[in-house]
Chains A and B, each alone.
Chain A
């Protein structure tokens, strides 16, 4: 019996959450899971929040994860981690990119970006993994691969073999960018 796993990926338009969710889905399919992926297009393209929901299991019904039901919350931006935290199950896994992208109300001074998000998250959710994926990706060749660094960090914590992940990555990433993305995935995977 395959354990059912609900993954919520959250970020800001343009951060590569969609690609990351595609790689996860592909790896899960190869590992024999039934899958449902849900994403919202449209307004999200104009700088809004992006939320992708991936559900894995023997048989998956609803494409939507309930509040308090996510096994993993993978946040590409820390404010979005905070926004969607109510979806994470107690004892769920929280992985956060320590990157801030100011929303327009913050840019124009109408709202404040909370100063201490990582501290709050780490106190509230024991075992939270916070790191600067953008910086790590930069060292691998391009800051744009931050999504794959995060994916690597999550992959380590899911019951799918590393070789299956790597094959899924190779199938989803364009050939000329594969080497950089493989390095980014490995860097994330080895974060522990």
Chain B
């Protein structure tokens, strides 16, 4: 039976069919749906870990414990997990282990677009690159088999267009599979220098075996067509090549570390002109060049942004490989006369609890080091109340560093971080502030969920990925036990309280934490009556539009509140100086 599945859903299906019984992840676009799908299958334990490093360690433990394991994360998540990963490739596995890295070329929802194929090479581990959902599912099985056969973790690397596009997948029933025995083998698993040195040698030997495998792997295949042009490609780029160059011969690589050198050489020998087509980094191209093979064009595809058939066609024309966009359409409208189209940027939702904090920070003209989550949108107009944003958990260390660089800045600098992000990797940053006698003021934007990726649970929500009840960490107590004496909880939709709290904590010469405590507006379905406008009092000053609420607009020089969108959070009332905005009336039965 065939089902239409996204790449992520297909990976989950593959994990189920090929006997994965333990999985862990931290949510991150475009990887999130892998575990959300996997948890639904019977006999699979799947969890949200507080961060990717922990997820990786849980997966390692599961493998040692004899269960096939899958760990999923977005590309930047592998940076967090890199520490255990680099050593795990030394110890190798007991039961099969697959690490899914979902890269995000074009940065649809990410702060950078790193190409994680380099991680596979760096960690000396096998790398598989599916090009559609069927391959994504099949390659989970292949990865687990290779993991056990070559005693190594395996990376399955997708990109957004594989993870988030859907294609037909053949569904099969899982085969029964037994847990392996736990192996007590300290020479293999206890990585202190005397045991690690032989493992380093064993790793090289294993790579030699993997190179041989790569030559014969069924996922590395030559498709002979017209031999005047040969294309080496992998992953989603394969699909673009088939659209743009339907007649070219193709070496489709599904197993890309280590590369099949002999196969590449024989393909090169069989074509007149050879090129490599890949997205982001010239990962394959550089290795092909290092083999001494001549390429008809080098570096002709942009190294930045997401590839698509249009960009590929243009690049091939520029490089003189083809003369026209023969394989693909080019028959569009000339839109030079079209009216200008205003942008539709993402915004904080109506009723969002972060809005009050950012409005206050903007009014107080503070330096704000930000973090990863919905609230990063507080950096965009009209709020524009965030100065930096580096990676998960960085906000606190950055604020601390600013204060250490210039103590005069301390009283004007705050860090903002979400609850899920704080539990991911903010805790250690705060510990550092306390330990090193910083004065940072940290605002934890606690909306009780991982909102950006679609409301996933975390150790503070009281629920697991499977929806079961769980202990919920007490944020205030946690912060206190880290050594912060000044901790206060505020209602972020109360502007006066928020501003006063921020001003007071900035003035304190010790670390302080403000917990802005209000659940995500999309979680609490009960909304209060919509705000009303008293048109005769409105002067059209537009101050209410500075909070960036999608429910408020200016029509005929007066404020207008869209009652269908307004959640009655009443933040705008507190901004209006004329008293023109008033609370909606409660309906009485």
Binding site for B on A (CB under 8 A): 12, 25-26, 29, 34-49, 60-64, 66-69, 79-80, 82-83, 85-91, 102-114, 116-117, 120, 124-125
Contacts and interface: CB of A to CB of B under 8 A. Distances in A.
B29 interface: yes
Contacts of A107: 545, 550, 552-554
B454 A25 contact: no
A113 B309 CA distance: 32
Given A106-B342, A124-B333, 13 more contacts: A12-B344, A46-B348, A61-B240, A61-B242, A62-B243, A63-B239, A66-B313, A66-B329, A69-B332, A82-B338, A83-B344, A86-B335, A89-B331
A60 B553 contact: no
Max chain B CB contacts within 10 Å: which of A43, A62, A79, A103?
A62
B365 interface: no
Contacts of A49: 344
A105 B343 contact: yes
A16 to B, nearest CB: 16
A14 B277 CA distance: 37
Given A42-B108, A47-B550, A63-B239, A37 B165 contact: yes
Given A36-B165, A40-B108, A104-B347, A68 B342 contact: no
A62 B242 contact: yes
A35 B29 contact: no
Interface in B297-353: 308-310, 313, 328-333, 335, 338-349
Interface string B1-30: 010100000000000000000000000011
B532 interface: no
Query: Secondary structure at chain B's binding surface: helix, strand, loop or mixed?
Result: loop
Closest 4 CB pairs of A and B: A68-B332, A42-B109, A69-B329, A111-B342
Given A26-B4, A102-B553, A124-B335, A69 B328 contact: yes
Given A47-B344, A102-B553, A120 B29 contact: no
A45 B239 contact: no
Nearest to B106: A40
A60 B246 CA distance: 12
Given A35-B167, A43-B346, A66 B333 contact: no
Interface in B154-179: 160-161, 164-168
Contact of A85 (B328, B329, B333, B552): B333
B167 A46 contact: no
Q: What's the interface size class on B, roughly? A: 35 or more
B419 to A, nearest CB: 18
B282 interface: no
Contact of A90 (B132, B167, B332): B332
A40 B160 contact: yes
B273 interface: no
Binding site of A, secondary structure by majority: helix, strand, loop or mixed? Answer: mixed
A142 B205 CA distance: 66
A120 to B, nearest CB: 6
B335 A103 contact: no
Of B339, B341, B344, B554, which is in contact with the most chain A CB atoms at under 10 Å from its CB?
B344
Contacts of B329: 66, 68-69, 89
Contact of A35 (B168, B342, B381): B168
A37 B12 CA distance: 18
Contact of A112 (B4, B30, B342, B381): B342
Nearest to A105: B342
A63 B167 contact: yes
B374 interface: yes
Interface string B382-398: 10000000000000000
Contacts of B221: none
B167 A36 contact: yes
B166 A36 contact: yes
Interface in B48-95: none
Given A41-B29, A47-B344, A82-B339, A67 B168 contact: no
